[in-house]
Amino acid sequence: MDRMLVSSWFHLHSSVPLSYVQPPESRPGMVAVASGKIIPVVDLGLHDRDEILRHILKASEEYGFFQVINHGVSKELIEDTLNILKEFHGMSGEEKIRESSRDPNGSCKLYTSREINNNKDCIQFWRDTLRHFCPPSGDFMEFWPQKPARYREVVEKYTQELRKLGLKILEMLCEGLGLEPEYCCGGLSDSPVFLAHHYPPCPEPSLTLGTPKHRDPNLVTILLQEKDISALQVLKDGEWIAVEPIPYAFVVNIGLLLQIISNGRLIGAEHRVVTNSGTARTTVAYFIRPRNEMIIEPAKPLTISAATIYRSITFEDFLTIFMTKGPDIEPHLLL
């Protein structure tokens, strides 16, 4: 496994290995990156809650992406979290694997796209990922890494704060759609997942990707980016828009599940991550997800005056389809 981690061998190569080279149509630069366009920024510190709600709803309908500032999560906690994850990904491969392999059922694991797509003909992506469950119950914490020191302490506090922020955003989205604010609370959102992606420097960024074009298989993602490293891009109207980092802001994007629940009103936007040749990049993502047995379907109040677009499906079945169909999943979700 250690030999598979991109962080273990990237420095030994002056070119991108063939298995990481994207087909010409998927490479960065084949679709124009919009100049001067930005995704919306929502100030959660405004006194007028109705105004915040309108901004969030509009951004979710038009872009499926927005950044939030004045969100209530302290700068100190944000810095501690990013630093602890950079420190984790900076450990030796053996240490990282040991620290993320305590649960034989895989609730915490370190992986690369090569491990997931072990077909030798499958194109790989330039990143390593630490992933673990982080439910509000505190279950699975015993399997989290114990190194670096304070990992569990910092990440526990961070995920607690992100849960508060995520529920606040979900409540406003539901209210804006005309649903009860608590519609997505409970079983639809109490099985979150924590992911820390690490993208080492790449010798030929024009040939590969850190993450391919995709939509997230959840309700909402809350992403922490590093300052001064632009890599995340969202597709809108046939152009890629760079999601430029704002210090201490979070990027929020709508997932496919919320697109289904909203009966297509909200956009689970396609996005990707490009690489760079000079600097390693670490990001922290909080995925708001349901329990496996929860039924995902358009909210009934939203189908009274509009045709139902999507069929009902359990989250477990949705994930099975997502893992096999990837970017081509949407036709398999339609009614």
Per-residue pLDDT of the chain (335 residues; tens, 9 = 90+): 567 899 999 999 999 999 999 999 999 987 778 888 999 999 999 999 999 999 999 999 999 999 999 999 999 999 999 999 999 999 999 999 999 999 999 999 999 986 555 455 689 999 999 999 999 999 999 999 999 999 999 999 999 999 999 999 999 999 999 999 999 999 999 999 999 999 999 999 999 999 999 999 999 999 999 999 999 999 999 999 999 999 999 999 999 999 999 999 999 999 999 999 999 999 999 999 999 999 999 999 999 999 999 999 999 999 999 988 988 899 999 99
In a domain, 85, yes or no: yes
In a domain, 300, yes or no: yes
In a domain, 319, yes or no: yes
Q: What is the CATH number of the domain that holds 161?
A: 2.60.120.330
Q: How far apart are CA 186 and CA 291, in angstroms?
A: 9
In a domain, 118, yes or no: yes
Q: How far apart are CA 332 and CA 330, in angstroms?
A: 5
| C-alpha closest to that of 241 among 57, 17, 32 | 32
In a domain, 257, yes or no: yes
In a domain, 17, yes or no: no
- 83 lies in which domain range? 2-8+29-332
In a domain, 13, yes or no: no
In a domain, 20, yes or no: no
Q: Where are the alpha helices (DSSP H) in the chain?
A: 6-9, 49-62, 75-89, 93-99, 113-116, 151-177, 256-261, 315-325
Q: How far apart are CA 76 and CA 316, in angstroms?
A: 36
Q: How many folded domains does the chain comprise?
A: 1
| C-alpha closest to that of 239 among 89, 38, 105, 76 | 38
Q: How far apart are CA 298 and CA 312, in angstroms?
A: 8
